[in-house]
């Protein structure tokens, strides 16, 4: 049985974790667990959607694959979380693959895992990789360096998971999983990378992402808030 640990923490970007999960749990003999400080719900960066931690760090001392998702609001907090970064350092000693999606690469870097390692992350925070000792590869969607693999922003996590499936299970199984998910992206607009987007689009996206960092801290300030309270808050926003 191959154990795959997807890290969860308050403020996570849901697609960074859920996208890869939908691929990885279809790998043969795979046990996928969502790992965090303690079992229970954590709120995503939307402030409404919850994901569930199934196992604590202590219960997961030697996973075969680790995947660290990013966040639009809580990356810095996760980088400073010594329980998380310490666990990453320990398990990285024995993992077959240590991976990240989006700004999850910054968390790996904060743990000292990307020192001198080529890596990628979300386009907005690419410059931070260099300050943390990594070698940025901003034009690559997936960057492999030995048994470390990093993916660009958010949706790139699905690509990373399919690539991992190919490495672990072979191309045919990865293609079967891809077809089961009908992953055949044909976006209606060609603006998914800064090099393709108009300057006005880039500036608006940058401004909204930076504003999300400021606004999002309030949304995740009480990560164990009752589910009903979160639902009522969501309904209030949608009907206002």
pLDDT tens, position by position, 54-100: 999 999 999 999 999 999 999 999 999 999 999 999 999 999 999 99
* Catalytically annotated residue among 102, 129, 162, 230: 102
User: pTM score, two decimals?
Assistant: 0.90
Model confidence over 176-212: pLDDT tens digits?
999 999 999 999 999 999 999 999 999 999 999 988 8
Note if 169 is an active site residue. Answer: no
pLDDT at 220: 60
Contacting residues for 209 by C-beta, under 8 A, at least 6 apart: 72, 124
- Rounded to whole angstroms, how far apart are CA atoms 59 and 99? 20
DSSP 7: E
Dihedral angle of Cα 137, 9, 83, 112, to the nearest 10 degrees:
0
* Spans of all domains in the chain: 2-180
E-only strand ranges, 84-233: 97-101, 118-119, 135-136, 142-145, 148-151
Mean pLDDT within 163-170: 98
Residue that is written with structure tokens 């043969």 in the block = 28
Percentage of the chain beyond pLDDT 90 is 85
Model confidence over 131-164: pLDDT tens digits?
999 999 999 999 999 999 999 999 999 999 999 9
Token readout for 167 is 């490495």
- Rounded to whole angstroms, how far apart are CA atoms 122 and 22? 21
Asked if residue 29 has pLDDT above 90, the reply is yes
Confidence of residue 233 (pLDDT cuts 50, 70, 90): low
Token readout for 199 is 């300057």
pLDDT at 226: 52
Domain boundaries 2-180, CATH class = alpha beta
Asked if residue 239 has pLDDT above 70, the reply is no
Confidence of residue 229 (pLDDT cuts 50, 70, 90): low
Token readout for 143 is 């960057």
pLDDT at 47: 84
- Any idea which of 43-52, 75-84, 162-171 has the lowest mean pLDDT? 43-52
Mean pLDDT within 34-42: 94
Q: Which secondary-structure segment (H or E) carries 41?
A: strand 40-43
> Do 16 and 10 contact (CB within 8 A), yes or no?
no
Confidence of residue 231 (pLDDT cuts 50, 70, 90): very low
Please, what is the angle between helix 156-169 and helix 171-180, to 10°?
A: 140
pLDDT at 35: 98
Q: Which secondary-structure segment (H or E) carries 192?
A: none
In 44-124, which residue ranges form alpha helices assigned H by DSSP?
75-79, 82-92, 104-110
Residue count (the chain): 240
- Rounded to whole angstroms, how far apart are CA atoms 55 and 85? 16
Could you tell me whether strands 97-101 and 118-119 are parallel, antiparallel, or unpaired per DSSP bridges?
unpaired
Q: What mean pLDDT value characterizes the chain?
A: 92
Asked if residue 165 has pLDDT above 80, the reply is yes
Asked if residue 234 has pLDDT above 60, the reply is no
In 170-198, which residue ranges form alpha helices assigned H by DSSP?
171-180
């Amino acid at each position: 049985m191959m154990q795959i640990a997807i890290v969860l923490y308050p403020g996570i970007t849901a697609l960074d974790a859920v996208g890869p999960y939908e691929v990885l749990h279809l790998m043969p003999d795979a046990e996928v667990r969502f790992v965090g400080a303690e079992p229970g719900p954590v709120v995503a960066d939307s402030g409404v959607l919850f994901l569930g931690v199934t196992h604590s760090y202590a219960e997961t001392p030697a996973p075969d694959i680790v995947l660290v998702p990013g966040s639009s609001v809580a990356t810095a907090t996760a980088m400073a979380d010594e329980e998380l970064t310490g666990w990453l350092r320990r398990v990285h000693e024995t993992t077959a693959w240590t991976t990240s999606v989006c700004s999850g690469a910054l968390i790996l870097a904060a743990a000292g895992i990307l020192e001198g390692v080529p890596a990628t992350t979300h386009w907005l925070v690419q410059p931070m990789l260099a300050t943390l000792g990594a070698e940025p590869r901003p034009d690559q969607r997936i960057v492999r360096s030995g048994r470390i693999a990093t993916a660009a922003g958010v949706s790139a996590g699905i690509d990373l998971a399919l690539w991992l499936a190919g490495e672990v299970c072979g191309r045919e199984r990865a293609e079967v999983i891809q077809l089961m998910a009908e992953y055949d992206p044909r976006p209606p607009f060609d603006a998914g990378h800064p090099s393709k987007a108009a300057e006005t689009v880039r500036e608006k996206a940058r401004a909204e992402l930076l504003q999300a960092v400021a606004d999002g801290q309030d949304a995740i300030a009480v990560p164990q808030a009752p589910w009903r309270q979160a639902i009522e808050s969501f309904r209030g926003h949608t009907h206002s």
